[in-house]
Amino acid sequence: MTSFGRPLTRNEDPRLLRGEALFVDDVELPGLLHVAFFRSPHAHARLLSIDVEAAKARPGVVAVVTAADLGEYWQPGPLLVPPPPVPGMVFHQRCQVPLVRDTARHVGEPVVMVLAESRYIAEDAVGDILVEWETLPAVGDLEAALQPDAPLVHDDLDSNIAARVHQARGDYAAAARAAHLVLKRRFIYDRGASIPMETRGVVASWDPRADRLTVWDTTQAPVVIRNGLAAMLGLSERQVRVVAPNIGGGFGPKMMMFYPEEVLIPWAAMRLGRPVKWIEDRLEHFFATTHERSQIHDAEIALDAEGKILGVRDVFLHDTGAYDPYGLTVPLNSQCTLLGCYVVPAYDSLFTAVFTNRTLVTPYRGAGRQHGVFVMERLLDMAARALGLDRAEIRRRNFIAPDAFPFDQDVIYQDFSRLSYDSGNYEPILDKALHAIGYDDFLARVQPAARAEGRALGIGLVCYVEGTGIGPYEGARVQVQGSGKVSLVTGIGSQGQGHATAFAQVVAEQLGVDIRDVEVVTGDTDQFQWGVGTFASRGAVVAGSAAHEAAKVVRQKVLKTAAAHFECAEEDLVLADGKVHVAGVPDHAITLGKLAGLANPMRGAVTPGTEPGLEATSYFGPASGATASGVHAMLVEIDRATLKPTILDYVVVHDCGTVINPLILAGQIHGGVAQGIGNAFFEKLEWDSEGQLLNASLADYLIPTALDVPRMRLDHTVTPSPLNPLGVKGAGEAGAIPVGALFAQAIEDALDLPAQGIEIREMPLGPSRLWEITQGG
């Protein structure tokens, strides 16, 4: 039976569960040095002097490195993502330097690197370092940053504007004039952190005999790091091997190429001739690993009397932190995702990305899409109320029709293509969700009965689309080995997404083998030279399709070799269970391993025009992204005394095209929802006016526990993507995207807040903030 599409348990799990899998911190090498950093305690300060003498003198300290010691290697990190080709846009790119030389621009910027025989000694030596600072006024507030008298994060610029991008189509002003209803609201989404189980880490080793550098890195983009390191350290790409072994969660921030530590650790290993390890501690993680989410939207929607959208206008601010090497992916995604599942005839959106003296902002699971969905879905809820329409009905009236695909949205997307939804069918998803959550019955019977008893029960219902599976490309090499095992090698790495199983299923489908016989190798640049990275829910679409294409070629080679062996036509052959036989003669089968031997002869000659071995390498680059979609629905009860929500039921209906492995997919959705619940109800980074992060520990920054995450019910519809051979769309971020909007709606409904003239227009929202809002704050 084919394994493709089946809910198989993961190949990689036994080794992970037994603690046998390699993580970066497991790498131990003879002579290993350990690193601790002195980091800026100030959000904004001029560096006057550094005294490292006491640190150097501490026994066990091997080197203490400041910016001055880096010489020609002291350079701003590379531009990672160029600006989108939007006419008239403004963009100022400022990249972080490896060690602060002149000015620190956020708390936690590395200033001095200490290398010692143990981490303990290195940490103690950091305490010996004396730095003199002149503190400067810090910019912590998004709106204050744009005041004329605001201090400048980068004093070579004349304001804190990092970018300004305006995308418009149709005539919004005319739409608003013609509208029956125009609603204007302000929406706020605040900062959170991704909190992977494993923090970042880098180990580097220079081998003078091989003249090569090996780097183990918790990166989501090993090939990009390899190429960048070669360029920055003056090496050839062949001289650098980057390995991204098992990684305990990435969620986007481990895609930030390059963090200062990713350059400094390899540089130190080369300079000192000893292997070097740095493992980020949780406190550093809060300050030094990128965040996401803070935006302020002033949005308006214009509708006719029937609730049809005539236009949307949105002006928003996006906090990009102290530097913006990652370009504009996050706000661009917000701008594009706001359009949702709906026909929006006129759209006018202007965003301003703003420098602040806070940790950098780069994509984190959802990557700006949460904000777009929050704004649009909240506007629709409010419009439905104003027009006396049902929440589901207003959405239904505005859905893009199933025969309207491909649907041109006429805005520039994060992959710089003109956003076009490839496929979708939204009404069946909504219907399934309404049915599963018991929407009609809840509103007609359950909620009134609960209210009569004084209980606060509410329902939420949120629709979203998600651009997934963007290019430019990924590659894969499939090989049948003499042992009969099949190997699949690709340039992307996995941070827990189950690639070793899902990609094995793709290959097994073509080669008729058990998935346990497919060895998947990811994240090692010595194994595969080309690739981009695991982000934007693109692994299944892009690397999965490359694996499919390569396996298809290998299948042809297998059949050709077997046809020569059996002296029959290829059409007469059956390939199954790791063997090939002539149809009707299953007892005379030849194994794939033996065929691999025949294709790699030790005597005679390979037929001209053919290659030895049963092997193929393919690349896949989609023309544009595949658009996944879904509906989340939730029943919630709010404790009137504590305002704590209890989720009574949670339904996800999702369309990610063809499903490779429903079990992995369910895990991805569950994990995403759990993270979304954190973002909605627990996780908010709190800063003071000096740019100090106030809750930089897991004692103060709450994340949801298993008790806070409900059992959820999952269902799917399948609208295959026409843009890739598997028909798949991505799913890795879907769970997280709509949860904020869903919480806002369900809580509002449970407490009947609109009847008191109160609306929820901000996220995250813990009980204390919710209490303030219910008190009119």
Residue with tokens 């939730």: 634
Query: Which residue from 719, 728, 723, 730 is spatially nearest to 403, judged by alpha carbons?
Result: 719
Q: What angle do CA 619, 623, 629 make, to 5 degrees?
A: 110
Residue from the set 84, 140, 249, 307 that interacts with ligand MCN by CB under 6 A: 249
User: Which residues in 358-377 contact ligand MCN (CB under 6 A)?
Assistant: 365
The region of 162-170, 299-307, 493-501, 559-567 touching ligand MCN under the rule CB under 6 A is 493-501
Report the distance separating Cα 760 and Cα 774, nearest Å: 9
The region of 93-101, 410-418, 490-498, 595-603 touching ligand MCN under the rule CB under 6 A is 490-498
Nearest-approach distance from CB 392 to ligand MCN, in angstroms: 26
Site string for ligand MCN, 609-648 (x = CB under 6 A): ----------------------------------------
Report the distance separating Cα 109 and Cα 119, nearest Å: 19
11 vs 745, which CB is nearer to ligand MCN? 11
Query: Which residue from 130, 90, 668 is spatially nearest to 350, judged by alpha carbons?
Result: 90
Residue from the set 99, 125, 653, 659 that interacts with ligand MCN by CB under 6 A: 659
> What is the torsion angle, in degrees rounded to the nearest 10, for the CA atoms of residue 137, residue 139, residue 141 and residue 144?
80
Site string for ligand MCN, 136-175 (x = CB under 6 A): ----------------------------------------
The region of 76-84, 89-97, 539-547, 611-619 touching ligand MCN under the rule CB under 6 A is 539-547
Strand stretches in 244-358, DSSP E: 276-279, 295-303, 309-321, 346-355
User: Which residues in 570-599 contact ligand MCN (CB under 6 A)?
Assistant: none
378 vs 538, which CB is nearer to ligand MCN? 538
The region of 141-149, 175-183, 496-504, 630-638 touching ligand MCN under the rule CB under 6 A is 496-504
The region of 87-95, 144-152, 511-519, 656-664 touching ligand MCN under the rule CB under 6 A is 656-664
Residue with tokens 């809750």: 695
Query: Which residue from 283, 327, 317 is spatially nearest to 297, judged by alpha carbons?
Result: 317
Nearest-approach distance from CB 312 to ligand MCN, in angstroms: 26
Query: Which residue from 681, 709, 647 is spatially nearest to 458, judged by alpha carbons?
Result: 647
Beta bridge mates, 185: 299
Binding residues for ligand MCN, rule CB under 6 A, total: 36
Residue from the set 162, 387, 540, 765 that interacts with ligand MCN by CB under 6 A: 540
736 vs 753, which CB is nearer to ligand MCN? 736
Residue from the set 251, 278, 413, 681 that interacts with ligand MCN by CB under 6 A: 251
The H or E element that residue 282 is part of is helix 282-288
Reading phi first (left if > 0) and then psi (alpha if -120 to 50, else beta), residue 374 is in: alpha
Residue from the set 83, 140, 201, 252 that interacts with ligand MCN by CB under 6 A: 252
Answer whether 423's CB lies under 8 Å from 405's CB. yes
Residue 726 three-state SS: coil
The region of 12-20, 298-306, 534-542, 547-555 touching ligand MCN under the rule CB under 6 A is 534-542
Residue with tokens 């025989």: 117
Nearest-approach distance from CB 659 to ligand MCN, in angstroms: 5
Residue from the set 104, 229, 360, 731 that interacts with ligand MCN by CB under 6 A: 731
User: Which residues in 374-403 contact ligand MCN (CB under 6 A)?
Assistant: none
The region of 29-37, 208-216, 528-536, 709-717 touching ligand MCN under the rule CB under 6 A is 528-536
356 vs 537, which CB is nearer to ligand MCN? 537
Residue 173 three-state SS: helix
Nearest-approach distance from CB 665 to ligand MCN, in angstroms: 5
Query: Which residue from 337, 625, 255 is spatially nearest to 469, judged by alpha carbons?
Result: 625
Answer whether 156's CB lies under 8 Å from 87's CB. no
Query: Which residue from 469, 305, 312, 443 is spatially nearest to 377, judged by alpha carbons?
Result: 312
Site string for ligand MCN, 543-562 (x = CB under 6 A): -x------------------
Site string for ligand MCN, 50-69 (x = CB under 6 A): --------------------
As given in the structure block, the two tokens for residue 368 are 């700006």
Beta bridge mates, 215: 204, 242
For position 656 contacting ligand MCN by CB under 6 A, the verdict is yes
502 vs 573, which CB is nearer to ligand MCN? 502
Residue from the set 83, 613, 730, 764 that interacts with ligand MCN by CB under 6 A: 730
Answer whether 467's CB lies under 8 Å from 413's CB. yes
66 vs 724, which CB is nearer to ligand MCN? 724
For position 654 contacting ligand MCN by CB under 6 A, the verdict is no
Phi, psi of 211 (to 5 degrees): 60, 40
Residue from the set 502, 614, 709, 760 that interacts with ligand MCN by CB under 6 A: 502
Site string for ligand MCN, 80-99 (x = CB under 6 A): --------------------
248 vs 645, which CB is nearer to ligand MCN? 248
357 vs 495, which CB is nearer to ligand MCN? 495
- How many CB atoms lie under 10 A from the CB of residue 765? 24
44 vs 538, which CB is nearer to ligand MCN? 538
498 vs 597, which CB is nearer to ligand MCN? 498
Query: Which residue from 529, 655, 601, 484 is spatially nearest to 226, judged by alpha carbons?
Result: 529
Phi, psi of 579 (to 5 degrees): -140, 165
Q: Tell me the torsion sign for CA atoms 63, 66, 70, 75.
A: positive
219 vs 745, which CB is nearer to ligand MCN? 219
Residue 557 three-state SS: helix
Residue 122 three-state SS: helix
Report the distance separating Cα 433 and Cα 462, nearest Å: 10
Residue-wise DSSP of 38-63: EE-SSSSEEEEEEE-HHHHHSTTEEE
Reading phi first (left if > 0) and then psi (alpha if -120 to 50, else beta), residue 279 is in: beta
675 vs 692, which CB is nearer to ligand MCN? 675
Report the distance separating Cα 139 and Cα 146, nearest Å: 9
597 vs 625, which CB is nearer to ligand MCN? 625
Nearest-approach distance from CB 723 to ligand MCN, in angstroms: 13
For position 536 contacting ligand MCN by CB under 6 A, the verdict is yes
219 vs 349, which CB is nearer to ligand MCN? 219
Nearest-approach distance from CB 159 to ligand MCN, in angstroms: 32
- How many CB atoms lie under 10 A from the CB of residue 729? 33
For position 426 contacting ligand MCN by CB under 6 A, the verdict is no
The region of 275-283, 298-306, 657-665, 754-762 touching ligand MCN under the rule CB under 6 A is 657-665
For position 657 contacting ligand MCN by CB under 6 A, the verdict is yes
Residue 721 three-state SS: coil
In 572-728, which ranges are continuous DSSP H helix? 592-598, 662-677
- How many CB atoms lie under 10 A from the CB of residue 401? 12
Answer whether 548's CB lies under 8 Å from 737's CB. no
The region of 141-149, 243-251, 278-286, 741-749 touching ligand MCN under the rule CB under 6 A is 243-251
DSSP 543: I
Report the distance separating Cα 655 and Cα 558, nearest Å: 35
Residue from the set 260, 625, 732, 764 that interacts with ligand MCN by CB under 6 A: 732
User: Which residues in 664-693 contact ligand MCN (CB under 6 A)?
Assistant: 664-665, 668, 671
Report the distance separating Cα 554 and Cα 475, nearest Å: 15
Binding site for ligand MCN (CB under 6 A): 249-252, 365, 495-499, 502, 534-541, 544, 656-661, 664-665, 668, 671, 728-733
